[in-house]
Amino acid sequence: MALIVQKYGGTSVGSPERIEHVAEKVLAARRAGHQVVVVVSAMSGETDRLLELARRIDPDPDPRELDVLLATGEQVTIALLSMALQRRGCPARSYTGAQVRILTDSAHTKARIRAIDEARVRRDLARGTVVVVAGFQGVDEEGHITTLGRGGSDTTAVALAAALGADECQIYTDVDGVYTTDPRIEPRARRLERITFEEMLEMASLGSKVLQIRAVEFAGKYNVPLRVLSTFQEGPGTLITYEDEEAPMEQPVISGIAFNRDEAMLKVVGVPDQPGVAARILGPVGEANIEVDMIIQNVAEDATADLTFTVHRRDFRSALGILERVARELGAREVKGDDRIVKVSLVGVGMRSHAGIAGTMFRALAREGINIRMISTSEIKISVVVDEKYLELAVRALHEAFGLDRPPEEARAQGSPEARKAAEPPRNALR
């Protein structure tokens, strides 16, 4: 007998019929002899609907009240699923985050889980009851309802699995696993049998919304076996694993392509090139709680510098306002902004031991006439910023260039010349 935490996302519980289907899946796991804790999201579209309602009252609503509102979405589905289970003769009980006592900090709308009191859940499980928990929500020390940020039900599931020492945490969704890239953008994307925590973390932080980044962090930290599967079709899904140290050569060079549409770029042109200038520009941006992602500074012949950086698109207007003020103070020539850009990233632990990846990437984009506006690299990823209109083209061109539509062995052995080149041993070149 195993203890399994299953999480069903919005689409999976999007109608009464789908909730019945989820009940059948839970029953099947129980019939197989497992103890089951189920975490559910709000019905698809519900969280967006609630957000829109709030915005019609106040464009910038109080975060505490917003959490009270948003948490109602998941409360609906826990009750409906418990009813569906009970109708099938299966003892089931629903709990909100506060009832379990999923204790979080007080950062409304983006709270972090601090502790979970799992005693009640264990008692129910011991009695043979299926425990149905509302995802995405918790409660702070003061008893205020909090939510965990968009996609937060994944994190609830993994955190519960960690607290209970579950044998597996299964994330059921509308795709049958983690793909080489979002299958909605590239229909030739391939399901990965496995992906490392490290790669999944990069994919999530670079924009792949299939798992919330904190869920992956939690699973890696607490050693929770994590699997992404389809609610609608049987299959092994994708297992998130530790890097296989035994067989590093089995690792594909590139595991996947992530992209992020929520990006905007700002540029201060012609600032005097002096110590402290970057701090004077970026300081006020940080003070306004605006997170800066990529940063580039280049110095021109005339001893002035240009500073370019990216922020979340929602912060574009306020960042622009701040820069215009700072630019005047610094005597900069000009401030420019563009909120029609996207970031496209290649992710793979195999990059560590392979050169030539960046070259292959840049050539593939150049062949399509796609101009690269910014570049940033780290040990296991390369990101480029390109115009928004090129997103699909860039993702598909890179998918092809790295042979991602074929199994890694095949891509290496008989793949495109580009893929073969990418698999060559390291040289003394830029990656």
Part in contact with ligand ASP (CB under 6 A); list of ranges 105-113, 145-153, 193-201, 295-303: 145-153
Q: Name the residue among 132, 229, 169, 124 with its Cα closest to residue 3.
A: 169
Q: Which parts of 46-75 interact with ligand ASP (CB under 6 A)?
A: 47, 73
Residue 42 contact, options ligand ADP, ligand ASP, Mg ion, none, Cβ 5-8 Å cut-off depending on partner type:
ligand ASP
* Other CB atoms within 10 A of residue 53 CB: 11
Which of 13/85 has CB closer to ligand ASP? 13
Near ligand ASP by CB under 6 A: residue from 4, 6, 8, 9: 9
Which of 41/82 has CB closer to ligand ADP? 41
The 255-294 contact track toward ligand ADP, x by CB under 6 A, reads: -x--------------------------------------
Query: Quick check: 176 binds ligand ADP (CB under 6 A)?
Result: no
Instruction: Return the exposure string of 121-158: e unless at least 16 CB atoms fall within 10 Å of the residue's CB, then b.
Output: bbebbeeebbbbbbbbbbbbeeebbbbbeebbbbbbbb
Query: Quick check: 173 binds ligand ADP (CB under 6 A)?
Result: yes
Q: Name the residue among 354, 418, 361, 419 with its Cα closest to residue 380.
A: 354
Helix (H) or strand (E) holding 312: strand 304-312
Residues 83, 88, 93, 95: is their CA dihedral positive or negative?
Answer: negative
Q: How many CA atoms lie within 13 A of 6 on its CB side?
A: 27
Query: Quick check: 10 binds ligand ASP (CB under 6 A)?
Result: yes
Which of 42/374 has CB closer to ligand ADP? 42
For ligand ASP (CB under 6 A), the number of binding residues is 13
Instruction: Return the exposure string of 192-220: e unless at least 16 CB atoms fall within 10 Å of the residue's CB, then b.
Output: bebbbbbbbbbbbbbbbebbbbbbbbbbb
Query: What size, in residues, is the chain?
Result: 431
Supply angle C-alpha 111, 262, 63, rounded to 5. 30
What span, in angstroms and rounded, lies between the C-alpha atoms of 280 and 329? 10
Part in contact with ligand ASP (CB under 6 A); list of ranges 149-157, 177-185, 246-254, 323-331: 149-157
DSSP calls for 6-63: EEE-TGGGSSHHHHHHHHHHHHHHHHTT-EEEEEE-PPTTHHHHHHHHHHHH-SS--H
Is the Cβ–Cβ distance between 216 and 204 less than 8 Å? yes
Q: Residue 392: helix, strand or coil by DSSP?
A: helix
CA separation (Å) from 371 to 362, 385, 393? 9, 9, 12
Which of 215/357 has CB closer to Mg ion? 215
Query: Quick check: 151 binds Mg ion (CB under 5 A)?
Result: yes
Residue 175 contact, options Mg ion, ligand ASP, ligand ADP, none, Cβ 5-8 Å cut-off depending on partner type:
ligand ADP
The 312-351 contact track toward ligand ADP, x by CB under 6 A, reads: ----------------------------------------
**Tokens (6 digits) for 75:** 């409360």
Query: Quick check: 136 binds ligand ASP (CB under 6 A)?
Result: yes
Q: Which parts of 4-63 interact with Mg ion (CB under 5 A)?
A: 9
**Tokens (6 digits) for 219:** 């699973």
Residue 150 contact, options ligand ADP, Mg ion, ligand ASP, none, Cβ 5-8 Å cut-off depending on partner type:
ligand ASP
What span, in angstroms and rounded, lies between the C-alpha atoms of 7 and 12? 10
Query: Quick check: 146 binds ligand ASP (CB under 6 A)?
Result: no
What span, in angstroms and rounded, lies between the C-alpha atoms of 185 and 257? 11
**Tokens (6 digits) for 394:** 């860039």
Query: Quick check: 77 binds ligand ADP (CB under 6 A)?
Result: no
Query: Quick check: 348 binds Mg ion (CB under 5 A)?
Result: no
The 114-153 contact track toward ligand ADP, x by CB under 6 A, reads: -------------------------------------x--
* Other CB atoms within 10 A of residue 166 CB: 23
Which of 210/342 has CB closer to Mg ion? 210
Near ligand ASP by CB under 6 A: residue from 11, 153, 238, 304: 153
Helix (H) or strand (E) holding 287: helix 277-287
Which of 73/252 has CB closer to ligand ASP? 73
Query: Quick check: 150 binds ligand ASP (CB under 6 A)?
Result: yes
Part in contact with ligand ASP (CB under 6 A); list of ranges 40-48, 104-112, 223-231, 358-366: 40-48
Residue 256 contact, options Mg ion, ligand ADP, ligand ASP, none, Cβ 5-8 Å cut-off depending on partner type:
ligand ADP
Binding site for ligand ASP (CB under 6 A): 9-10, 41-42, 47, 73, 135-136, 150-154
Binding site for ligand ADP (CB under 6 A): 9-12, 41, 151, 173-175, 178-179, 181-182, 184, 208-210, 256
Binding site for Mg ion (CB under 5 A): 9, 151
